[in-house]
Amino acid sequence: MPSKKKKIVVIGRSNLQNLYIHTILLKKLPAEIYLIDEQAKTSVQDFEYASYYHSSATVNTGTFNECRSADLVLFFQEEMSNESFSNEDNLALIKEKVKKMMATGFQGIVLVATAESNIVASLIKHFSGLPANQIITPGTMLATSYFQVEIAKLFKISPKNVHGYIIGESTQDVIPVWSRAFLGGKPILSYLAEEQKRITSDDLQNLTNMITKIPDFPVETKDSCSFRFSTVTVLAELTEVILRDEARVLTVGVEVKEAYGLERPVFVSVPAVVGAEGVRELLELNLSDDEQKELKRITTKTTEKLGLLHNKGGIS
């Protein structure tokens, strides 16, 4: 019996949009994909020409009314990467899109695919009234997977046997959680004392430096976009986890209310169980004192950015 098709609505424009859809088609997800954009007709026609090869999914143009029955809305906003576009203008765009989305009665999952994604996620929650667990950003999924692969290279083992996380915010504000990193069940930090010929503190520092070169979201320009393939892979993977209800542990941007000793609710990337209902639960890590202080510093920056928007009267 064929699976019931899930409905994905793509709001906004991005250089990643078509590549994202192509990746979803390659995953053979049974889905109806709708593009809410005046310039989408050419893209839809392009995908229609190849429909013989992706019969599991359809790609269509649509209006915001498609949000009414959508399982997932992918929220793009390329203006967030444009330095000439003011915070006030971005805020107005977000508010307008969310208002139109919610006017349809939408109650699905929102996947935020923008720069400053934790800020945007917080704004979407504020303007939509949706439960926080239904708003997710890719967070540090890409950085975490890269972290695991590079550790695996150091130890010459499969990445599937590496258990470690990158948490936090963006490029400069990520935390490799070395205190909770393991090979199988053995702490990686124990190798520093037991097998210094195999790994050194310099190796760990070099890996940390490499992680900070991964952007939280690609820098988009009119003609191109860096880190687009890796970012789209993560977006498509997260889409699949949600639509197939895989209940996987991923380091995604979610609202943290009471965990990690944080003083107020804030969106930040931490390990969480993700499935059809969005965030099912947080898996709170037992951080070291230094990691805990760094996480508090990062979340304070996010809270301060939101406070500036409030002070300018842009959030109401």
| CB neighbour list of residue 209: distance below 8 Å, 6 or more residues apart | none
Q: 8 pairs with which residues across the strands? A: 33, 72
Six-digit token pair at 205? 């520092």
Q: Which residues of the chain have pLDDT under 70?
A: 1-3, 83-84, 171, 215-226, 312-314, 316
Which CA distances in Å does 224 have to 52, 85, 97, 240?
Answer: 29, 17, 24, 26
What pLDDT sits at residue 66?
97
Cβ proximity of 139 and 113 under 8 Å: no
CA 12/CA 35 separation, integer angstroms: 8
- The CA-based angle 119-123-129, given to 5 degrees, is 140
What's the Rg (C-alpha) of the chain?
Answer: 20
**Alpha helical stretches, state H, 104-244:** 117-128, 141-155, 190-194, 201-211, 228-243
Alpha carbon distance 259, 278 (integer Å): 18
Strands 174-176 and 166-168: antiparallel
* pLDDT (0 to 100) of residue 1: 44
Q: pLDDT value at position 220?
A: 52
What CA–CA distance (Å, rounded) separates 182 from 190? Answer: 9
